[in-house]
């Protein structure tokens, strides 16, 4: 009887220990950005225990880890020659911008900006950053050396995810209408003439994260709903006409679309296979393919 009691007690202790043990972190591969020559994709992943920057071929093979830091890297951006990647490391009120070779060597700091939510101009020579609160954003743009700062928005509303058009004349960004719904807005490169581009019905979700097509005639965006359903859309510029790609009725999110240089395909992040992974699809929504994760490569036609 005593042995049985000891075994039962041990089982209870083990169960309590397992319950108290920290859960295994959810592995996610996300935020893809495509090199200017279209041959590689940089992305963020915590597959080795902490979020770092990785690079892989455009078909999902030859994954290379670039950074090994406990810092929170974000906003990876390819240099025009596809040989280096710039990225931001955000602090409380400022951000450091580092650059690293595609083999993980020669990491160096190239700028520090007095703000958060960093993004890069089309040619990588200028940097967007934000001041103010999360919902009252003063969006600024300056050269990497800190010169020629220009305030683009007045801080009365949101101004997230700024992206310069291929010709540098227009900036697309996530804004908010009078009812508080997020849409894609555009403004001239100097911050003048802000105007709402998308008018997607709020039942479809809120529009965010614009990405210009290489020819500047379309934008890929995401819409996000409160029920955790997210979609990629293609928006005509300047009409604002939008159509949804990869329509689905399942509870998963397709997010952060970016274009390949030929304008024929998109990369994006999605948890449609169970956790956030990097996927690609044609610009018409066909031929979905998972590039990262245990199930990759996989295709959906």
- Here the CATH number for the domain that contains residue 240 is 2.120.10.30
Question: Do 216 and 122 fall into the same domain?
Answer: no
Mean pLDDT of 207-212: 98
Query: Is 232 within a domain?
Result: yes
Residue 12 pLDDT exceeds 80: no
Number of domains in the chain: 2
- Please report which confidence band the pLDDT of residue 26 belongs to, taking 50, 70 and 90 as the band edges: confident
Question: How would you classify residue 168: left for phi > 0, otherwise alpha for psi between -120 and 50, otherwise beta?
Answer: left
Question: Do 122 and 181 fall into the same domain?
Answer: no
Question: Do 109 and 182 fall into the same domain?
Answer: no
pLDDT computed for residue 296 by the predictor: 54
Query: Is 105 within a domain?
Result: yes
Question: Do 177 and 254 fall into the same domain?
Answer: yes
pLDDT computed for residue 8 by the predictor: 39
pLDDT computed for residue 6 by the predictor: 37
Give the C-alpha separation, 53 to 66, whole Å. Answer: 6
Query: Is 143 within a domain?
Result: no
Residue 301 pLDDT exceeds 80: no
Query: Is 166 within a domain?
Result: no
Facing residues of 106 across strands? none
Mean pLDDT of 99-111: 96
Closest by Cα among 161, 129, 120 to 257: 161
Gap between the terminal Cα atoms of the chain: 62
Query: Is 237 within a domain?
Result: yes
**CA distances for 23 relative to 16, 18, 26, 33, 273, angstroms:** 14, 9, 9, 30, 20
Q: Which domain holds residue 280?
A: 172-296
Query: Is 20 within a domain?
Result: no
Mean pLDDT of 38-65: 96
Determine contact, residues 138/155, Cβ cutoff 8 Å.
yes
Question: Do 124 and 176 fall into the same domain?
Answer: no
Highest mean pLDDT among 124-128, 232-236, 251-255: 232-236
- What's the predicted TM-score (pTM) here? 0.89
Mean pLDDT of 171-187: 97
Q: Which distant-in-sequence residues (6+ apart) come within 8 Å of 242 by Cβ?
A: 198, 200, 221, 233, 234, 235, 236
Query: Is 153 within a domain?
Result: no
């Amino acid at each position: 009887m005593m042995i049985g009691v000891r075994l039962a007690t041990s089982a209870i202790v083990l169960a309590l220990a397992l319950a108290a043990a920290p859960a295994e972190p959810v592995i996610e591969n996300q935020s893809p950005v495509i090199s200017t020559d279209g041959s590689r994709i940089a992305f963020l992943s915590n597959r080795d225990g902490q979020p770092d920057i990785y690079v892989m071929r455009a078909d999902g093979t030859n994954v290379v880890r670039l950074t090994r830091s406990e810092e929170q890297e974000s906003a990876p951006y390819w240099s025009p020659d596809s040989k280096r990647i710039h990225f931001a490391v955000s602090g409380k009120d400022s951000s450091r911008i580092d650059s690293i070779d595609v083999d993980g060597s020669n990491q160096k700091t190239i700028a520090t900006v007095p703000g958060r939510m960093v993004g890069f101009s089309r040619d990588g020579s200028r940097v967007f950053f934000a001041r103010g609160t999360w919902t009252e954003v003063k969006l600024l743009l300056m050269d990497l050396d800190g010169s020629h700062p220009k305030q683009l928005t007045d801080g009365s509303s949101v101004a997230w995810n700024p992206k310069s058009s291929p010709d540098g004349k227009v900036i697309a960004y996530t804004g908010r209408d009078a009812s508080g719904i997020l849409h894609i807005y555009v403004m001239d490169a100097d911050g003048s003439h802000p105007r709402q581009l998308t008018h997607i019905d709020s039942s479809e979700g809120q529009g965010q994260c614009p990405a210009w097509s290489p020819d500047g005639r379309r934008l890929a965006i995401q819409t996000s709903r409160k029920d955790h359903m997210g979609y990629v859309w293609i928006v005509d510029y300047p009409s604002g006409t939008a159509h949804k790609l990869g329509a689905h009725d399942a509870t998963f999110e397709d997010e952060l679309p970016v274009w390949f240089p030929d304008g024929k395909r998109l990369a994006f992040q999605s948890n449609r296979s169970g956790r956030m992974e990097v996927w690609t699809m044609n610009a018409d929504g066909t031929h979905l393919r998972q590039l990262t994760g245990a199930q990759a490569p996989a295709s959906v036609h």
